[in-house]
Chains A and B, each alone.
Chain A
C-alpha cells in the first residue's frame, strides 16, 4: 500500500512565503512520478495548479511554483494572498496507478 504524505496543516501570514511538500513511502519523489498539485476551497471542486513537477496552467497565478526538494515534491507560494486559504493536494503516478496525498490545509492568518 503506497502512501503519499503531506503536512496536515500550515499557517502563513499574508504576503509571506510557504512551502508544502509531498513525500512517497516508496522513496524519493522524482519527475518520473509526474507530481501534480491541486487546490480545493470549501464547497468547490478541485482546481489544478501544477502538473509534471513544475508546469503551470494558464490560470495558475505566478506566485505558485512547483519543484523537487529534498526527495519530495514541493509547492511554494510566494506573496501569499488571503484567497490562497484552501486545501492543497498532491498526486503521484506509480506505473499506471495514481495516489493522492492526504492534503494540506493552508490557513492565511
Chain B
C-alpha cells in the first residue's frame, strides 16, 4: 500500500526539542522530493520545508529557519524533521507530503508546545 505514516509528536516544553519521522511505503521513496506541512488548531495549512531526493537541497519557511532541520534516510525510506527551540506557536499537526506529482499526504502527528 502506498502511504506515509508520521510519528514522534507529543507534548514538549517551550525551548525543547522533538524529532518527527515519516515512514514511506509502496513507492520508490529515494526518487521523490518531500515536504513538511503544519496546521495549527483551527487554522490553515502552512508549508514548512522541502528536501530533494538526495537530501542535498533544502528550503524552509522563514518561521522555522534556523530552528528546524529536515533530513532523510533513503535506505530506511524515512523522512525526518528535527525541531529545536520550540515555541508555543509551533503547536500544530505536522504532515509529511510527497512531491505534488505523487499527491501523497500522511495522517499527521500532533505537536503541542506548552509548559
Interface of A with B (CB < 8 Å)? 1, 34, 36, 38, 40, 45-48, 51-52, 55, 57, 87, 89, 91, 96-103
Contacts and interface: CB of A to CB of B under 8 A. Distances in A.
A46 B46 CA distance: 12
A100 B35 contact: no
Interface of B: 35, 37, 44-47, 50, 57, 59, 61-62, 95, 97, 100-101, 103-108
A33 to B, nearest CB: 11
Which of B47, B103, B104 neighbours the largest number of chain A CB atoms within 10 Å of its CB? B103
Chain A at the B interface: mostly helix, strand, loop or mixed?
A: strand
Which of A34, A48, A57 neighbours the largest number of chain B CB atoms within 10 Å of its CB? A48
A100 B46 contact: yes
A45 B100 contact: no
A37 B64 CA distance: 24
B50 A98 contact: yes
Nearest to A93: B100
B59 A47 contact: no
B97 to A, nearest CB: 8
A57 to B, nearest CB: 4
A91 B97 CA distance: 12
B45 A45 contact: no
Given A48-B103, A89-B44, 9 more contacts: A34-B100, A38-B105, A45-B105, A45-B108, A46-B45, A46-B97, A57-B103, A97-B59, A103-B44
21 contacts: A1-B62, A34-B100, A38-B45, A45-B95, A45-B107, A45-B108, A46-B45, A46-B97, A46-B105, A48-B100, A52-B101, A57-B103, A89-B44, A91-B47, A96-B59, A98-B35, A98-B47, A98-B50, A99-B47, A100-B44, A100-B46
Contacts of A87: 44
Nearest to A102: B44
A97 B105 contact: no
B47 A89 contact: no
B44 A45 contact: no
B100 A100 contact: no
Nearest to B98: A48
